[in-house]
Chain A
Amino acid sequence: MMSSFRSLRYLVSAFAISAAFSLVCFAQQAAGDKKPTAAPQAAPAKEWPADRIGGAVAEWTRAKNWTKEYLDKMPEDGLNFKPVPEVRSFAEQMLHLAGGNYLYGSRVTGQTNPYQGKDLTKLDELKTKAALTKTVMESYDFVINNLKSMNDAKLDERVAARGMNIPRSEFLTMGFEHQTHHRGQTTIYLRMKGVVPPPEPF
């Protein structure tokens, strides 16, 4: 009897809570329809790192994970695939991207490019799925790990390149653009190999 009463009480409580949530939900919908200036939010928005280096590390880490998904999705027999004969293969696009990460990364951080003078796209031993993935991930780690040893003030330092004094932060932006541009191209390589590419992560 006691236990049955307790169950009933739980059931009633559950109904009450559920009704309360529904009301909140309806209220939010109604508020949403009216487009208020400050709509109530169920969950707080995710917080962005306060410092620029922290933000850059977050973005490069997202970029790294996204590129990893591309590498994972391409089957081994697609690594040498080219949509037309005169362009880079999938592996060569990824190695070009990695070379860019090292080049721009060294300009941003002042660290020596470990592949200085080498063209990764010509190194056939890197054109297996395992070696390719390793090299490309290492190139992102080169940027990310060296960024972590910098501070916001160093980002504004200028270094000479192409007849200009350019802020280190600008090389970071260009390096980001470079890898986005080449990863973007490989989206179509995946499609042409019958693979649905990874969605854009925000």
Chain B
Amino acid sequence: MREKFSALRYFLSAVALSAAFSLVCLAQQAAGDKKPAAPAQAAPAKVFPADRLAGMVAEWTRAKDYTKEYLDAMPEDGLGFKPTPDIRSFAEQMLHLANGLFFFGSTISGQDSPYKGKNLEKMDELKTKAALSKIVMESYDYMIGVVKGLDGAKLDERVTVFGNSMPRSVALAKAFEHQTHHRGQTTIYLRLKGVKPPNERLF
């Protein structure tokens, strides 16, 4: 008898709690419908980094992850694929992208690239899925390391790239553009190999 009563009490508590949650939920929905100036939010808003460098590290990390998805999506037998004979293969596009990151990273930091004087595109030993993924990820890590080594003042200092003087922040933007341009091209390589490319991720 005592046990039964206890069970009933638990049951009633559970119903009450459940009802309370429903009320809170309904109240929140109602508040949401009225679009108040400061709606109650369950989770705190994500915060975009306050300083420019942290924002850049976040963007380069996103770019790296996005490219990794492309590398993962292409099957091993697609690495040598070219949509037309006179252009770069998938692997060569990715190695060209990596060349660009080492080049810009070295120019922006003033340090020699670890692959100085080498054209990665010509190195056939890098044209396996494992080696290709490794070197391309390494090129992003190199660039992210360069960005982390800067500070706000250095971002505005000028560097000379191809005879043009520009703030480091602009050289970084051009480096970013270069990898976006070549990754973008490989979207169509994936499609032509029957692979659905990774979704664009702008956040």
Contact = CB atoms under 8 A, between A and B. Distances in A.
A184 B83 contact: no
B48 A48 contact: no
Contacts of A55: 166-167, 170
Interface stretch (B127-135, B137-145, B173-181): B173-181
Interface in B76-92: 83-84, 86-87
B191 interface: yes
Residue among A47, A189, A191 with the highest chain B CB neighbour number at 10 A: A191
A47 B83 CA distance: 39
Contact of A86 (B46, B177, B191): B191
A137 interface: no
Interface stretch (B15-23, B24-32, B156-164): B156-164
Given A59-B173, A176-B177, A45 B188 contact: no
A113 to B, nearest CB: 17
Contact of A184 (B48, B167, B185): B185
Contact of A188 (B45, B161, B176, B185): B185
Contacts of A127: none
Contacts of B164: 45-46, 48, 202
A176 B173 contact: yes
B187 interface: yes
A59 B202 contact: no
A: contact size bracket: 35 or more
Contact of A192 (B59, B83, B180): B83
A192 B83 CA distance: 7
Interface stretch (A4-12, A118-126, A165-173): A165-173
Contacts of A41: 163
Given A162-B203, A185-B185, A188-B83, A48 B180 contact: no
B125 interface: no
A184 B87 contact: no
Nearest to B83: A188
A183 B84 contact: no
Nearest to A166: B48
A47 B163 CA distance: 10
A178 interface: yes
A163 B174 CA distance: 29
Contacts of A163: 45-46
A166 B46 CA distance: 10
A198 B62 CA distance: 28
B183 A181 contact: yes
B177 A188 contact: no
Nearest to A163: B45
Contacts of B173: 59, 173, 176
User: Taking each of A45, A48, A176, A188, which has the highest tally of chain B beta carbons within 10 Å of its own beta carbon?
Assistant: A188
Contacts of A84: 191-192
B165 A47 contact: yes
A177 B191 contact: no
Contacts of A1: none
Interface in A2-50: 41, 43, 45-48
A183 B164 CA distance: 24
Contacts of B153: none
Given A45-B160, A170-B55, A83 B188 contact: yes
